[in-house]
Amino acid sequence: MISSIKYTPSSSLTCSAFSSTSRKLSLTRPQYSYTLPTIHNAHKQQNPEIESSSSSSSLSSQKPLYIESFSFLAKPRNRRVLTECQAYEADRSRPIEINIELPDEEAAQKLKIGLYFATWWALNVVFNIYNKKVLNAFPYPWLTSTLSLAAGSLMMLISWATRIADAPKVDFQFWKALLPVAVAHTIGHVAATVSMSKVAVSFTHIIKSGEPAFSVLVSRFLLGEAFALPVYLSLVPIIGGCALSAVTELNFNMTGFMGAMISNLAFVFRNIFSKKGMKGMSVSGMNYYACLSMLSLLILTPFTIAVEGPKMWAAGWQTAVSQIGPNFVWWVVAQSVFYHLYNQVSYMSLDQISPLTFSVGNTMKRISVIVSSILIFHTPVQPVNALGAAIAILGTFLYSQAKQ
């Protein structure tokens, strides 16, 4: 609703602002609820130029108005004053603007990363526990490794078929680039499982904490990549801590030790091939690991049959079921499923965080696995052995800091 009133200076309205100099005042005030009083047009007969939108001699409003602004214009010649009032009726007023503060994005991202890490570590601990239980009762690491890859591949195929997860759009070039990554992943996976079948879980992970040393050495001598001095210095506690733990390990086994070392070397090449071959290929972390598991399964299956074979599996399965009972089947299913889940979450975490944060999380994961396995399996640990593990893990943390 807009009211326009022209007024002459002969009225009782006086204001020092209406001087001989032309002025225009524009005031913007906060919105108020106001009821306009009745305005009697007493000067209509004296000044015929006064315009009215109604034939009545008075103007009134019974609804409260929100007054938005006033504007005054004075003309010096005939002293005519133009007053404009802009207002909105109460039932048609402008909507109230409410600023709702959303949660801090940075805090939400930190919470998301924390949940990823907690899930990753928990799944990894559960996998290592059940994996060691299965290997103690069923010492066939090649078949155990194959079942882990088969369970993950089956889970992802069902997820894609039921549209729980979107299937990746890949071509022949993707599988070609993924092949060397899958070969290295297969070797590293089997070697780590062989190691855990021969030695304690804690010892395997202490040796596997030396993976950064292999990464630096391979990159330096095979790829010609140079590193800063702090990176090389961080290798000293890694190598020294692993050596100290190996020397003082009560249940030392050369096959278990070499399995962990081969696993470190294979995973270093897996990372190198992955960085080189997968550039420019947009596949989510979850689908990337799913494809990696399927290709690794195809590579590993014939070797598993050749090395162990169905006859050995049948005899070992009967022995394990007779000793453990039906729970052994649950152990096999659990270690297979949790292996895929913890690796899948780790790849999903890598999509959300920086490599530095991922490496720190990987170091903390090893600590959680080592401590939990010692407590659950009652692994005897000497103080010198524990000191070596602590030094190796500290070196891994220093390496992750110096590398970035």
What pLDDT digit, counting tens, does each position of 244-260 carry? 988 888 888 999 999 99
Q: In this structure, are residues 289 and 339 in contact, taking their beta carbons and an 8 Å threshold?
A: no
CA–CA distances in Å: residue 396 to residues 116, 258, 361:
21, 20, 11
Q: How far apart are CA 105 and CA 111, in angstroms?
A: 10
Of 54-68, 278-292, 334-348, which range is least confident?
Answer: 54-68
Residues contacting 78, CB < 8 A, separation 6+: none
DSSP for 115-156? HHHHHHHHHHHHHHHHHHHHHHHS--HHHHHHHHHHHHHHHH
Identify the three-state secondary structure at position 86.
Answer: strand
What pLDDT digit, counting tens, does each position of 162-212 carry? 999 888 888 888 999 999 999 999 999 999 999 999 999 999 999 998 888
Q: Which of 35-44, 94-103, 241-250 has the highest mean pLDDT?
A: 241-250
* Residue 130: pLDDT band with limits 50, 70, 90: very high
Domain-by-domain residue ranges, the chain?
2-92, 108-403
The residue type found at 204 is T
pLDDT of the residue at 368: 86
User: For the chain, what is the radius of gyration of the CA atoms?
Assistant: 39
pTM score, whole prediction = 0.70
* Residue 157: pLDDT band with limits 50, 70, 90: very high
